[in-house]
Amino acid sequence: VTPDADGIIASGTWNNGRIQWELTSDGILTFTGDLFLYESENYPWQAYSEYITRIEVSDGIIDIPSGAFRGFSNLTGVYLGSSVQTLGRGVFANCVSIQTVTLPAGISWLSAEVFRGCSSLRTVEFAPGCNLVSVGEYAFADSGIVKFAAPNGLRSIEENAFSGCTALQSVSLQGSVSTIESGAFSGCSGLQHIILGASVEKIADSFDGFTSLISVEIYTNTQLCTFKDCTSLSTVVIGGQMTEVEPFSFYGCSALSSVVIQAPIDEIGEYAFAYCSSLTLFKIPDEVKKINSGAFMGTGIIQITFPSAVKQILVGAFSNSALREIYFPGSAPEMITATAFDGVTATSYYPAGNATWTEDKLQNYGGNITWLPQ
């Protein structure tokens, strides 16, 4: 292809002349006009895809239709004008050289597969005040994205939106995110950090078995998902208004060593922290009333203090844990089941003179417990 005297390789109009396009010898494909709604299977600029390294969409253009730049393998840069509101299905799919994209403030919808297969795409940024509401199915699937922090207005992440993003390390879903559909992060084998904000109401999947996960912050009102067998998970923060650490939430998280609970938790579910062997310190929140079966089974906890609110400690709650010292600063719980401390050898301290600590309460509960008043 030989450019003309002005360095233009090709040019033309689209959508009944309302869109003008031009490709120059420096590889820049420029679009000007006031609409971009006309969709086609054969866009004229696609014939020059091997020469295109940058696309610039000027202000005034609203929508970019499906597949308009699909498979432009040499495309490295994209500029989207502030008027762009919608990116159609697969607009930049398989553009394997794109590394960074900034989405304009007016963008409201990322359609399915819009950046699917963009293996070099590392960074997605959002202009201040970005109006993005939804990330469509497979929108970033199999891309090289490393970090995703949801803009404030984002509400939903659709099925498989980030599936197969093996380079994805950090996800922050705060702001208005309320729905995370099934498979949204399936196959994200490098995911290390997750923040779930207070607006999250639905998570279709768990994060079970994400073995690269290191830290989790949960500020939802209901946890909605588990992190079972996340064997590298070391730090957990539980905030928001959750009232229960749900059953099996962190079962088998053998590297978990720090749990900070800021939420008004009043119940710890069955096997919630079972086999967290690196968990040597744990503060039971003051509001907790019930500790369910196996909740701390096989943990590394050496010392535990039961707040006065605790009324029930159920079957095997601390069985085969590393407990050596147990403190009850208040009245005796209403129920401690016969195997609550199965396999534990420890000294347990209770308040001298508290009439609720009768002889029938000073039992072994499946272990070898020495009771001392203090």
CB-count exposure of residue 210 (10 Å: 0-12, 13-18, 19+): buried
Sheet holding 170-173, edge to edge: 147-149, 170-173, 193-196, 215-218, 235-238, 258-261
Q: Quick one: pLDDT band at residue 223, thresholds 50, 70, 90?
A: confident
For all residues of the chain together, what is the average pLDDT? Answer: 95
User: What is the CB neighbour count within 10 angstroms for residue 101?
Assistant: 22
DSSP 97-165: T--EEEE-TT--EE-TTTTTT-TT--EEEE-TT----EE-TTTTTT----EEE--TT--EE-TTTTTT-
Mean pLDDT of 272-284: 98
% of the chain residues with pLDDT over 90: 91
Confidence class for position 332, pLDDT limits 50, 70, 90: very high
For 173, the 3-state DSSP assignment is strand
What's the pLDDT band for 37 if we cut at 50, 70, 90? low
Q: How confident is the model at residue 109 (pLDDT cuts 50, 70, 90)?
A: confident
The span from the first CA to the last CA of the chain, in angstroms, equals 91
Q: What is the pLDDT of residue 365?
A: 98
**Residues 184-204: what's their mean pLDDT?**
96
The per-residue pLDDT for range 118-174, each reduced to its tens digit, is 999 999 999 999 989 999 999 999 999 999 999 999 999 999 999 999 999 999 999
Q: Which contacts of 215-222 are long-range, i.e. CB under 8 A and separated by 24 or more positions?
A: 218/242, 219/174, 219/195, 220/196
Average pLDDT for 270-283: 98
Strands 235-238 and 244-245: unpaired
Other beta carbons within 10 angstroms of residue 371's beta carbon come to 16
